[in-house]
Structure 1
Amino acid sequence: MTVKESNSWIRIREELLRRINERVWQPGETIPGEAELAEEFGCARTTVNRALRDLAEAGLVTRRRKAGTRVAVNPPHKATFTIPIIREEVEARGSSYSHSLLKREKRPLPTSLHAAFPVGDEAFLLYTETVYFADDRPFMFEERYTNIDATPAFAEAAFDLISPNEWLVQNAPFTTGDLTCYAANAGPALSGLYECQDNTPLFVMERVTFNQTQPITHVRMTYSPGYRLRTGF
């Protein structure tokens, strides 16, 4: 199959990807050069270069000057990540759901988060604390910094009927992010919330989302004792 009728780098990338996936070009094999591909597809070399650059950024080919372009031997395997809505997670367990907004205020980003959440010094950050309940028992405690420059309507949203988590899922699309999971011991505040002993191990997730390069939100979620994360891929 050829795509001479199209000058689109996206169409060319799709055809090159087909050849890689169908093993027309084997892992480690050197593929035709830009000039040869440009002649085949009836386009400029810059168009082919754009398609190959995109495949290289995805880890599907490796490009070396004077050595040509090769099909990657060990391409990365990626899964799509969907941010869960806490209400749906609670209801899927057969429990009744509710949430309570404890705090909502403009607050500067702590120094400890600057590396993970690179917003400017003048950014308007809205800090919220929310408790999510399952059958009227605390299920998760959320601490969130949201960049209002990225999501202006968040500053005016009422969180009585919808939580910050669900509002952002519905209204703030993201293109990339970072997720960290770890265990932390309960301090006085969380041990009181969850009615557990101090230093009880709790499951924590920290998530940062971006729209292109613009930070959207940084959230720290601490779950009740015994919480187990299960996910599919």
Structure 2
Amino acid sequence: MKYYALEKKDSKAELYIFGTITTYPWREKDKDAYSIVKELSELDADEIEVHINSSGGAVSEGLAIYNVLKNSKAKVITYCDGFACSAASVIFMAGDERVMNGASLLMIHNAWTYGQGNAAELRKQADDLDTITQASVKAYMNCVSITEVEVKKMLDEETWIDADKAVEYGFATSIYEEKEDGTNQSAQMTIRNKILNAPVVVQQETLDTEKVAKKVVELLKKEEPKTGTGWGAFFNGGRK
């Protein structure tokens, strides 16, 4: 399965990242971040929708894609269509709008690697991992409403974040929910709020009951059949 696809129609483009974000495109039979960044940099679009369903991958690749999207002049809307884990969660942060589906998840954790070498080399690798993780922290901190200490605690604990928590913490800006009638829940809420918050203007008028009664009598007399002895007879004191 291809993990990358870029489609453009008129002034709008759609980027799909489904699968592993890899440094080895020949393994995925697709493109690495260099190719993606090149295409996005040359893209002439007013809006880019980024659909993500990925368990993550190489941090370097994720950061490169994040940065080119973040620096784009186009409006960027990122969608978590399933999972946006690890490096994919960083790409998700590039959106001016960041939309979770109701049944989608983010997962954030510290950068990790396989290690080998002597003690000094392993200590350096640990320091390097801290530096690499900090780059991701900066991407999260550009969006979230929680503190850096809280973000780092979540990274330490390898935290899964559902749609509601993602919005609460600021990782996401909204939740997309498709209703049975095909309407978007957020659109319904917008309309509902406008209706509920709209000022209600009540105009009071004094009712002239005598005038209304006369009008009713006139209409009833007009509609009565000539041979009838109904309402007309009643209003005329029983006379035909």
The two structures have a TM-score, normalised by structure 2, of 0.19
Higher strand share: 1
Whichever structure has more helix as a proportion of its residues is: 2
TM-score (norm 1): 0.19
- Bigger CA radius of gyration: 2
